[in-house]
Amino acid sequence: MFSTLKEDFKVVFERDPAVRSKLEICFCYPGFHALLMHRAAHALWRRKFYFFGRLISHVSRFLTGIEIHPGAKIGKGFFIDHGMGVVIGETAEIGDNCTLYHGVTLGGTSWAKEKRHPTLGNNVVIGSGAKILGPFTVGDNSKIGSNSVVVKEVPPNSTVVGVPGRIVLSDGAKPESRADLEHGRLPDPEAKAISCLFDQLRALEEKVNRLSGDASGKADDPSAGKAS
């Protein structure tokens, strides 16, 4: 237990530059509190004490603003930054060293009692407000941009942005070891599409101007239209 707590402290110090001390983590980090209570709730859930597992989960939600179903499986090195509004569903599975920012939803799309929530691989980073909906896998080392809505599988080493989420980077190269999500460096597919449209409009405008100039020159030439 103490080795696990030590690892939890280490994760917070690595991924949040605002932290100053372990005491601050113990009293002021809702993601840390939610993770501790989830471990207790999950242990009860696995032993089929479903009501008590849900009760601890509900108290955790009330205290932290983070809702983690006791049935969810969470790996090592998990970190929730800020945390308010995070929702993790019953059949969600989270790998090692994953990072979630506030407002993230790992949600389901089915009412059937089956696997209906996403599975995150290792080293996945999900930006604030992103929604991952459905029983698919987000591959290892992938990043999901803020406010993206992802509804289909994401291959490893990918970056996804937009609504619906689109893969904008997938080069197969492993990212840096530090978990981050530099939104200022993410490609903007909408801006790229608009830029392409403007390029086409400019080309059409030049063509129209050229044709108009040719027609005007012929109109001014008195010999134009006469048979030779």
Catalytic residues: 117
174: how many CB neighbours lie within 10 A of its CB? 11
Contacts of 226 (CB under 8 A, 6+ apart): none
CA–CA distance from 129 to each of 105, 176, 207 (Å)?
7, 23, 45
Exposed / middle / buried, residue 132 (Cβ in 10 Å: 0-12, 13-18, 19+): buried
Which residue from 162, 167, 154, 100 is spatially nearest to 127, judged by alpha carbons? Answer: 100
Q: Are 75 and 95 in contact (CB under 8 A)?
A: yes
Handedness of CA 4, 96, 133, 116 (dihedral sign): negative
126: how many CB neighbours lie within 10 A of its CB? 30
Rounded Cα distance, 37 and 9, in Å: 16
Element (DSSP H or E) covering residue 57? helix 50-64
